[in-house]
Structure 1
């Protein structure tokens, strides 16, 4: 009878197990995929070539940093998540829908979650008790910050160094890492300018540092990595609803991912990232989600 019971439970046990043990999501702010493919980014391009990739995914409209990242990390469009501003406004509080971090914590209370960002406005995504680490140049505690820090901008090398050290020490199950440099260079010098190309190169080196930390921590065989962006850009901006601004890369690599696979689906949306993250970690998708997991990319 025990053997029969075990055999009956096997399908349930098989579907309940997470597809991976660790998920790392990287966002390259301002990452126009056409420009990324021209930039000197060997780490990014290696993961794209080895894993599953699309150079034609889409962000939301308006294609702005905070609304787009909110969609990426909540699994819903702007009409549901409600963050339609693009600066840090403390009095507006945190996002009113669950994030991938809070949903992961609800399903797996023992999982470690972390967010490393280059822009302090990501604090709007920090739901209380959803993150074990929030870092923007340095670790923060939950609560108010000095007014002098409300425009804080941290370059990718510093973001990467802090993320790398934390990954080696804590081995988080869900970690989001944001590199702002290409967006800053694009606004100042233009998308595709030599200065922005250099910024993309710097961000790729930062990616390499974090990948090395994942390897050092012994997590590479049990990890899945997603590379994407909040928006593209052209000239010196990214706000107009045109293809150069709304098209983003979507790369997935590592455990449970198809190898050397060009994703055929043409309608990948940035909010599909959250759905894919939760699916990888065996977290149930809420009924209100707009996002769907990109199952085509998974083994």
Structure 2
């Protein structure tokens, strides 16, 4: 085989495994997850920062998570675009012997399309390490940047509250402009398990998260990303009493809010939305073809991008 034919074969293989390019609509997507953010409790709580995004963006209060409505399985669907029967993560703790997720994430797909693209996950729980595929994230931050590779069971105990997470996001966005970033606030879930869903303590946690959300939005607006980005605010599950494990609306309903470039202002989304649609929407916004293996579909109804005229002669 000649060197020219060999190079051609390698190039063909890379094309085969890289996501196909479509029309890019924005340059940056931030997905912000309020762990345990039950819509009914959110609507009963004063959250001016979130309400501003609702008023200026598109939303639904009746999106659904996957079953089981647990943090790790749900976030796995959120960033892989598939349900648990495909991604296989049904446990809900950092269990190092089980290894990494076996399907691509939005971070690995973005990197496959453009190795120079920035990717980041600023989180509040260590269990998300299962979703850190090799080479997929420029930063995985949990109380500071973490190192790739093996980690002990002790990593499961690491937590970072919303204000800490927001501070890390602010610092990161001041110097970097990732193409896709995941931000996770754990406070509301912790308050729900301790005091109950809808309790005064959980509502106070929501108010703290709302302040942290405001910090993230201001950091985005102060960055070069501001004119070409979309922020998606959602949750992994709801809850009732002090848990979330049942296939009932209290546990399964989640909010889904889009805000930023091209988003229809003050629009209530009518199409059904499931948590794995978040991954599909992020890829669609970034101009990457949504894989046929995805269960998720882009929430196109939430957006109103101008239709480009076809080139002359087409």
Q: 1:223 aligns with which of 220, 225, 229?
A: 229
Q: 2:240 aligns with which of 209, 234, 237?
A: 234
Q: 2:276 aligns with which of 261, 271, 293?
A: 271
> Partner of 1:177 in structure 2?
183
CA distance in 2, matches of 1:293, 1:17: 14
Deviation at 1:291, TM superposition (A): 0.3
Unaligned runs of 5+ in 1: 1-14
Deviation at 1:221, TM superposition (A): 1.6
Contact 2:95 2:153 in 1 (8 A): no
CA distance in 1, matches of 2:248, 2:214: 31
CA distance in 2, matches of 1:87, 1:146: 12
Q: 1:285 aligns with which of 285, 290, 301?
A: 290
CA distance in 1, matches of 2:283, 2:224: 22
Equivalent position SS for 1:268? coil
CA distance in 2, matches of 1:171, 1:39: 32
Aligned length: 284
Q: 1:249 aligns with which of 246, 252, 255?
A: 255
Q: 2:299 aligns with which of 282, 294, 297?
A: 294
Equivalent position SS for 1:150? helix
> Partner of 1:8 in structure 2?
none
CA distance in 2, matches of 1:116, 1:64: 19
Equivalent position SS for 1:282? coil
> Partner of 1:135 in structure 2?
141
The answer to whether structure 1 residue 47 and structure 2 residue 47 are counterparts is no
> Partner of 1:103 in structure 2?
109
CA distance in 2, matches of 1:280, 1:245: 29
Unaligned runs of 5+ in 2: 1-20, 305-314
CA distance in 1, matches of 2:149, 2:169: 21
**Deviation string, structure 1 residues 192-215 (Cα, Å, up to 9, x no partner):** 111000100111111111111112
**Deviation string, structure 1 residues 103-158 (Cα, Å, up to 9, x no partner):** 11111222100001100000000000000010111101111234433221111111
**Which of the two has higher C-alpha Rg?**
2
**Deviation string, structure 1 residues 215-242 (Cα, Å, up to 9, x no partner):** 2213222110100000001111111111
> Partner of 2:33 in structure 1?
27
Instruction: State the Cα RMSD in Å.
Output: 1.1
> Partner of 1:64 in structure 2?
70
**Deviation string, structure 1 residues 75-106 (Cα, Å, up to 9, x no partner):** 00000000000000011111000001001111
CA distance in 1, matches of 2:109, 2:224: 26
Deviation at 1:186, TM superposition (A): 0.2
Normalised to the residue count of structure 1, the TM-score between the two structures is: 0.93
Normalised to the residue count of structure 2, the TM-score between the two structures is: 0.89
Kindly report structure 1 stretches of 4+ aligned residues shifted beyond 6 Å. Answer: none
The answer to whether structure 1 residue 145 and structure 2 residue 142 are counterparts is no
Equivalent position SS for 2:157? coil
CA distance in 2, matches of 1:91, 1:283: 33
CA distance in 2, matches of 1:259, 1:213: 21
Q: 2:95 aligns with which of 85, 89, 92?
A: 89
CA distance in 1, matches of 2:80, 2:156: 23
